[in-house]
Structure 1
Amino acid sequence: MTPDLTGELETADSLHQALYGGQVATFGPVRAVYAGPGLPVNAASGFGRHADAQVLAAVEDFYAGHGLPSRLSVYSHFTDHATLAARGYRLTQMLHLHARPVLPDDVPVTPPGEIRTRHATPDEFAHLTTLAFGPGSEAIMARTAARPHTQFHLAERHGRPVAAAALTVLGHVAWLFSAATLPGDRGRGAQTALLHARLHAAAERCATHAALLTVPGSASERNAHRAGFTLTAARLTLERPADTH
């Protein structure tokens, strides 16, 4: 992937995060999201390669106003880690960004079998993903189901819902996210089928690239590689305690 494409994907991720609603503050290209208490999407993103001191101070004030530590998402092309370290930021999470072109004649197809996919209603999506992710996921899944400009997909095995996932197209980028499978139905192809279904939906909506984030070394990462995605960058989450001066 070219640096320009990586920057485009980072911008799409920042726009994607802002769709969770709540309060979104913009500081130049940076968007700081507060979607609700304790939600993992409460973070500022869109920094590019460098951190501006005034923007960082504004982000920190924004989260302090909500009684939260300041949390930032930066990509591996970010080079200004010394500035963040000096302000007390520490790495709390790393995810892998994967991307692939969306070419209508080169989108994988799930062979006929026991898994079928279809569009889901927001309620169907929220119900299944909450069961799949387990206790503590209720609030973020409800927020996800309420997002605008978001398409939900369901996978059924022998007619029974077993997995769900979401898709948002932002400009030319299709963002694939919130994929979850019921514990007893994992490893049977449901997420692969949902990847393929969302790639077809992305092609129908004229996206040129698809992107997703995974935990390094996870089953989701292996599924992404089999669907033609390649590792493009890392997304780093850094956090600064609210009482850092």
Structure 2
Amino acid sequence: MNTELLGRLARAEAAAHARYGRTGETAHFGPLIAVHAGPELPINAAWHDGTRPPTAQELEAFGVFCAHHSQPQTVHLLSAFMPQGWTVLSERGYALDYVLHVYVHDLKRRPAAPPGDLREEEPAGWAAVAARGFGPGTEAIMDAVARAPGTRRFMAWLDGEPAAVAAMSMGEGVAAFHGTATLPPFRRRGVQTALLAHRLHVAAQAGADLASVFVTPGSGSERNVERAGFRLVGARLTVTRHPEALTRHA
């Protein structure tokens, strides 16, 4: 069951990832959708679409793309597809960098609509507040996230001030939640719980039947999504071909 579900999520995430290439380049290498969005952005990577493992030739072509754009050879894939893809990835020198947990929420069952001042925001204002929440150096990536086609941006206000932001994009009937940040003075006041519930309602109204979110294991974000009724269905694995592997496999 989870393999089918994670296949749906992989297709949705890979298609959504392609949107970031609007400011640079998007390229397809078999099941990999690669993006260069701008210099040194963390979204410069490839998403595996869940259909089949990449071939050695496709990974080689992806490596050429990355070298051309001076970006690391980084691939995101969901846990259901790691066993079949790991052989070719490891043979090409890829190693696991980090893991995020994958949660989903059936939109037929949603928490009550939250109270409070929750607004949909324009890109520049949303990106500015998001960068304040994530910290110095995140201005460029937050602007790229805010301006990606199809992204919906939400902001929670408290005491007449912006308190927190969150974003959502849709594909394959899945509403992908991302871009979550809370400004320090407003933490532990329930704003992210409200933004989760608000996006669940907005997603259902927009025609999605499922919501998904990636969170760091053991984090406050994981506890928030569990309390909001999300269930754990797998993991997102990020693998990178490191410089020493490039030399060894040249």
Amino acid of the residue matched to residue 163 of structure 2? Answer: V
**TM-score, normalised relative to structure 1:** 0.93
In structure 1, C-alpha distance between the alignment counterparts of 2:39 and 2:238, rounded to whole Å: 18
Instruction: Provide Cα deviations, 1:165-206, integer angstroms capped at 9, x if missing partner.
Output: 111111301011001000121111000111111111100111
In structure 1, C-alpha distance between the alignment counterparts of 2:60 and 2:32, rounded to whole Å: 12
In the alignment, which residue of structure 2 is the partner of 1:119?
Answer: 120
In the alignment, which residue of structure 1 is the partner of 2:76?
Answer: 73
Contact kept in structure 2, 1:75 and 1:235, CA below 8 Å: yes
In structure 2, C-alpha distance between the alignment counterparts of 1:217 and 1:157, rounded to whole Å: 27
In structure 2, C-alpha distance between the alignment counterparts of 1:53 and 1:211, rounded to whole Å: 31
Q: How do 1:142-181 and structure 2 match up within 5 A?
A: 142-181=143-182
Amino acid of the residue matched to residue 68 of structure 1? Answer: Q
Contact kept in structure 1, 2:154 and 2:166, CA below 8 Å: yes
Q: Does 1:95 align with 2:105?
A: no
What is the CA distance between 1:150 and its match in structure 2?
1.1
Instruction: Provide Cα deviations, 1:43-79, integer angstroms capped at 9, x if missing partner.
Output: 1112525232121111111101112221111111121
Q: Does 1:133 align with 2:138?
A: no
Contact kept in structure 2, 1:16 and 1:175, CA below 8 Å: no
Amino acid of the residue matched to residue 65 of structure 1? Answer: H
In structure 2, C-alpha distance between the alignment counterparts of 1:57 and 1:129, rounded to whole Å: 36
Same amino acid, percent of matched pairs: 43
In the alignment, which residue of structure 2 is the partner of 1:234?
Answer: 235
What is the CA distance between 1:111 and its match in structure 2?
5.0
In structure 1, C-alpha distance between the alignment counterparts of 2:181 and 2:135, rounded to whole Å: 10
What is the CA distance between 1:110 and its match in structure 2?
5.0
What is the CA distance between 1:82 and its match in structure 2?
2.6
Q: How do 1:35-114 and structure 2 match up within 5 A?
A: 35-48=37-50, 50-77=53-80, 78-79=82-83, 80-103=85-108, 106-109=109-112, 111-112=114-115
Q: Per the alignment, in what secondary structure is the counterpart of residue 3 of structure 1?
A: helix
In structure 2, C-alpha distance between the alignment counterparts of 1:141 and 1:111, rounded to whole Å: 25
Structure having the higher helix fraction is 2
In structure 2, C-alpha distance between the alignment counterparts of 1:84 and 1:147, rounded to whole Å: 29
In structure 1, C-alpha distance between the alignment counterparts of 2:187 and 2:92, rounded to whole Å: 42
In structure 2, C-alpha distance between the alignment counterparts of 1:93 and 1:117, rounded to whole Å: 32
In structure 2, C-alpha distance between the alignment counterparts of 1:140 and 1:111, rounded to whole Å: 29
Q: How do 1:184-223 and structure 2 match up within 5 A?
A: 184-223=185-224
Between 1:171-180 and 1:1-10, the stretch displaced more is: 1-10
Residue segments in structure 1 that go unaligned for 5+ positions in a row: none
Contact kept in structure 1, 2:56 and 2:92, CA below 8 Å: no
Residue segments in structure 2 that go unaligned for 5+ positions in a row: none
Q: Does 1:16 align with 2:19?
A: no
In structure 1, C-alpha distance between the alignment counterparts of 2:226 and 2:234, rounded to whole Å: 14
Amino acid of the residue matched to residue 126 of structure 1? Answer: A
In structure 1, C-alpha distance between the alignment counterparts of 2:112 and 2:148, rounded to whole Å: 28
Amino acid of the residue matched to residue 38 of structure 1? Answer: E
Instruction: Provide Cα deviations, 1:124-180, integer angstroms capped at 9, x if missing partner.
Output: 211110111111101101111111111111101122210011111113010110010
* Aligned-pair Cα RMSD in Å: 1.5
Amino acid of the residue matched to residue 93 of structure 2? Answer: G
What is the CA distance between 1:91 and its match in structure 2?
1.1
**TM-score, normalised relative to structure 2:** 0.91
Instruction: Provide Cα deviations, 1:24-58, integer angstroms capped at 9, x if missing partner.
Output: 10123320111111111111112525232121111
